[in-house]
Structure 1
Amino acid sequence: MLNSLLVINYPSLIINFFSLVFFILTLGSIVYYLYSLYSCYRFFSQKEEVNVDFSPPISILKPLWGLEYNLEENLTSFIIQNYPQYQIIFCVRDKHDPVILLVEKLINRYADRDLKLIVNDRIIGYNYKVSNLANGLKYCDYNLILIADSDIEVKEDYLKKIVQPLQQEKVGVVTCLYQSLSHNFTGIIESLGVACNFIPNVLTARQLEGVKFAFGSTILIRKKILEKIGSFERIANSLADDFLLGNLPTKLGYETVLSNYIVKHQITEEIFNHYLKRQIRWFRCIRVQRFKGYLGMIFTYGTINSIIFCLFNHLSFFSLIVLIITLSLKLLLNYKLSFKYLNNDTIIQYLGLIFVVDLIRFYIWSIALFGNKIKWGNNHFILKSNGELSIDS
């Protein structure tokens, strides 16, 4: 009799334990979605006044490699800015790169603009983009340096608006969100991931702890601050060069500001497997730079957490109610972003895929949680604990 009372039903205990874990995770997701709604509202409701008298000259660095999708339109959008004084330094590493012909064509077409092509194969680290930037820096004539990736397209008022936060001396860096545009399957998945996962994650982090990061879509930095953090040589072996250009100045007491100007990111067509590998590389980069924040991302996957909670509870009435609440908040957040704030036709058309995107991104998050090997271009690297790269031999 006593022995039968002491028998422990281990399978039941395990199921109850994981049921409790995923219930807590789901509650965390519900709180996250509610706070994200608030964070998005706060960000998109703010208005930045444009002081037309504040227009300091800007040097734009454009690192280039190859002929990307929509490249001519992207570069042209930076050339035709409605801004009094700026220059663009096009930085190319390989003298045989076909992008050189395109840049020369643009320079001839816009002969009245201050455009320079710099071809230099000097390498200062494993991050070739940073080497490109370093090679172009000495040709920058002005005290404000703008770095923007080649797959970014902007409107003519871009410079006029993003420079405004620099009226305050304590502001050292300005960066921008981006929304991705595409019409192929992989690109649509990425577009939805950016709008429905990445943007709310960023705005929630901004609301909680301020901005301590930057994105390659736009990094406008004071030259003196770039020099104080060690210039491009400091980040030449780092995968997270964009993050560091926004993060390192904050450690010196300067502010990084997230402008409410949102640029367009033009996605080239690629096979799904390449997309997965690129995302895993990027997620591993986040894990190394912000490990606690990376673990906290588990709360952003409310779709996964609530479904698993339902399964552990055999689709009980209570678990289904929790699932419906979670999915409704997820849908509401993404609906607000898509229709009210971003007005992105691609996202609006394929909004029903957001739950599929959650599954894909959760898979990427899980895979990137382990391991430190990445493939970047034709090279294989080890991602070290300090975020720097070393060759994988």
Structure 2
Amino acid sequence: MERNDTQIVTAKLTFASVGLVWYAFLWSIGLIGCLAARKRYRLRPRSPLASASASSVPGVSILRPLKGLDVNLYENLESTFQQEYSNYEIFLCVADESDQALPIVRDLIAKYPAVNAHVIIGEEVVGINPKVNNLIRAYRQASHDILWVIDSNISVDHGTLARSVDALDPPPRAAPSGRKRIALVHHVPYAFVTEPTLGARIEEAFLNTNHAKMYLAINTAAIDSCVVGKSNLYRKSDLERVDGTLKHSTSAGSDGREKGLAAFGRFLAEDNMIAGALWHELDLRHELSCDVARNAIGNMSLADYIWRRVRWIRVRKHMVLTATLVEPLTESVLLGVLTSIALKYLIAFPPWMFLLLHFTGWLLIDLDVHTSLAGQPLPSGSAFRDFIVAWSLRELLALPIWCVAIWGSKVTWRGKDYFVMRNGELSRRGSGLEGWLPWNWLKGVNVHHKYEPLPVEETNTR
């Protein structure tokens, strides 16, 4: 009996000690993200490329996929027409002639006649991902090797392109010797609300605090690829050498697999897979510029927010399983509760006092990250109170959302249901149990592709 008691005490001490080490590790990650945000975003110098002649700077093809009247669409698109850069072209892509974005596109082309802008009407179905299908024609017509793919709900500062090209292709004296070449430059999302609904407020709080903090910390450590696709620059010549298998590759087409953008039409998170392919298949690296991708958030209900988070947890589960499984232990609520229990057991520290200190410190770090991204402090008064309420709800909802998401593989995207397979690919097949049962997921059920090609007469170019 005494031996059992000793074993129980030893186990409790071990778990409590491991918990404290994990807590310290998470706090170090948070501090890395906070310091990285301060260093990178509180000063945004003007690039020399902003005033250079067209013949002296690399050409860039900007690809913008459009579908309908996204929030703040006119301002978002106009920000790419106003770039301080002398050598770029814009491709504005819609799937069909009746798309509501077209009048805005044509207004902007008329307003900025000096900008080399093209409208591409009609998708080419190369996979199940509608964004890739929308972009593939522009991708093939792009005149320049450097591509900037930027979502329709994103606006950027006028100097973003010049600073991003600086980061992608730095001058020889600015690139440390022996450092691997940069294959992709990306921008951390910074959310702003245009319609103050509850879901939009929570999404804003999430993107500008916890998401940005962890995103910056992981990219500062640079131990693996971690990229979202709101705004990314990469080279077409590099993309033509990868296929999304994440296995080392050195040449295009040598193994018979399709390569280039079309190869990523089978994934929902094509942006993350492209970044991972450049990292793992070509052994190249990524870089963040000192710009943010300003993400306009419109009328988002609480349910919209919840199911959006469920969708991406389910996608991540099939791409980075270990990280997804430990995710609840990185969130403030569960982490704080478990650590308070550990401290009470080890040194009899009052849990209420620890939790007060824990949540205060966690909030202050998140506010500091938000301030760095915004370039200014949060507004005071009711706006600040609204943010604190949204932040608190985000923290409280994190664990319940994860619990709902972890057991499913079905996601709804743009009004259609998909099933995420073990390798991160998508399928439209499945009528009930297929594709989402835990044992099917663990076995890696291979569901055949079922793409939905458009009639030929709907595809055309203007």
TM-score, L = length of structure 2 = 0.75
Cα distance change, pair 348–142 in 1 and its aligned pair in 2 (3 A): farther
Conserved? CA contact 1:130–1:235, under 8 Å: yes
The 10-residue stretch of structure 1 (257-266 or 145-154) with the greater mean CA deviation from structure 2: 257-266
For 1:197, the equivalent position in structure 2 comes to 210
Q: Does 1:31 align with 2:25?
A: yes
Task: Identify the residue that residue 148 of structure 1 maps to in structure 2.
Answer: 150
SS in 2 for 1:138: helix
Q: How many residues align?
A: 383
Secondary structure class of the residue paired with 1:163: helix
Quickly say closer, same or farther: Cα 1:29–1:309, change in 2 above 3 A: closer
Q: How many Å apart are 1:130 and its aligned residue?
A: 0.7
Structure 1 partner of 2:302: 272
- Find the counterpart in structure 2 of residue 212 from structure 1: 225
**Does structure 2 retain, via aligned residues, the 8 Å contact 1:71–1:151?**
yes
Structure 2 unmatched ranges of 5 or more: 171-179, 243-258, 431-462
Picking from 227, 246, 249, the partner of 2:278 is 249
Contact 2:123 2:135 in 1 (8 A): no
Q: In structure 2, do the counterparts of structure 1 residues 369 and 24 end up closer, same or farther at CA, with 3 Å as the change threshold?
A: farther
Q: Map residues 35-54 of structure 1 onto 2, 5 A cutoff.
A: 35-46=29-40, 50-52=47-49
What is the SS of the residue equivalent to 2:141? Answer: coil
Correspondent of 1:173 among 154, 171, 184: 184
Name which of structure 1's ranges 39-48 and 195-204 shifts more when overlaid on structure 2: 39-48
Q: 1:156 deviation in Å?
A: 1.0
Give CA-to-partner distance per residue, 1:148-202, whole Å, 9 cap, x none: 0000011211111111122258111100101100133211100101112101111
Letter of the 2:261 partner, please give it. F
- Pairing 1:239-388 to 2, within 5 Å after superposition: 239-251=268-280, 252-307=282-337, 317-342=349-374, 343=376, 345=378, 348=384, 350-353=386-389, 354-388=391-425
The equivalent residue for 1:133 is: 135
Partner Cα separation in structure 2 for residue 326 and residue 383 of structure 1 = 36
* Other structure's SS at 2:286 match: strand
Cα separation, partners in 2 of 1:42 and 1:70, compared to 1, 3 Å: closer
Residues in 1 aligned to 2:132 and 2:21: alpha-carbon distance in whole angstroms = 42
Q: Where do 1:228-247 residues align within 5 Å?
A: 228-229=241-242, 230-247=259-276
Range 239-248 or range 160-169, more displaced: 160-169
Instruction: Give identity over the alignment, percent.
Output: 22
Could you tell me how far apart the structure 2 residues matched to 1:380 and 1:19 are? 47
- Structure 2: distance between partners of 1:89 and 1:226: 18
Using the alignment, how far apart are the partners of 1:317 and 1:85 within structure 2? 62
Name the counterpart of 1:118: 120
Aligned mates of 1:159, 1:356 — CA distance in 2? 36
Q: Aligned partners of 1:200 and 1:139: how far apart in 2?
A: 37
Given that residues 33 and 329 in structure 1 are in contact (C-alpha distance below 8 angstroms), is that contact kept between their aligned partners in structure 2? no
**Contact 2:412 / 2:418 at 8 angstroms: preserved in 1?**
yes
> Does the 8 A contact of 2:124 with 2:136 survive in 1?
no
CA contact (8 A) 1:382 1:391 kept: yes
Per-residue deviation, 1:271: 2.0
SS in 1 for 2:90: strand
C-alpha deviation, 1:118, in angstroms? 0.5
Distance 1:107 1:138 in 2: 21
8 Å CA contact 1:77–1:154 kept in 2: the answer is yes
- Residue equivalent to 1:96: 98
In 2, distance between residues paired with 1:366 and 1:270? 22
String of CA shifts for 1:250-299, please: whole Å, max 9, x gaps.
11121111222112100121222122112111121122211222233233
CA shift digits 1:114-166 (9 cap, x unpaired): 11100113211110001111121122111100000000011211111111122
Letter in 2 for 1:172: A
- Deviations along 1:313-356, one digit per CA (max 9) or x if unpaired, are 79x75323432332132122112113345336478554423232
Give 3-state SS (helix, strand or coil) of 1:237's partner: coil
- Residues in 1 aligned to 2:168 and 2:136: alpha-carbon distance in whole angstroms: 23
Whether the 8 Å CA contact 1:29–1:326 is kept in 2: the answer is: no
Q: Are residues 258 and 349 of structure 1, via their aligned partners in 2, closer, same or farther at CA, if it must alter by over 3 Å? A: farther
Give the counterpart letter for 1:267 in structure 2.
I
- CA distance in 1 between counterparts of 2:260 and 2:361 reads 43
Question: 1:81 and 1:222 mapped to 2: Cα distance?
Answer: 19
Which of 88-97 and 34-43 deviates more?
A: 34-43
Q: Structure 2 counterpart of 1:282, which letter? A: W
C-alpha separation in 1, matches of 2:429 and 2:12: 38
RMSD: 2.9
- Asked whether the 8 Å contact 1:60–1:88 carries over to 2, the reply is yes
> 3-state DSSP class of the match of 1:261?
strand
Quickly say closer, same or farther: Cα 1:139–1:333, change in 2 above 3 A: same
TM-score by length of 1: 0.88
Paired AA for residue 316 in structure 2: I
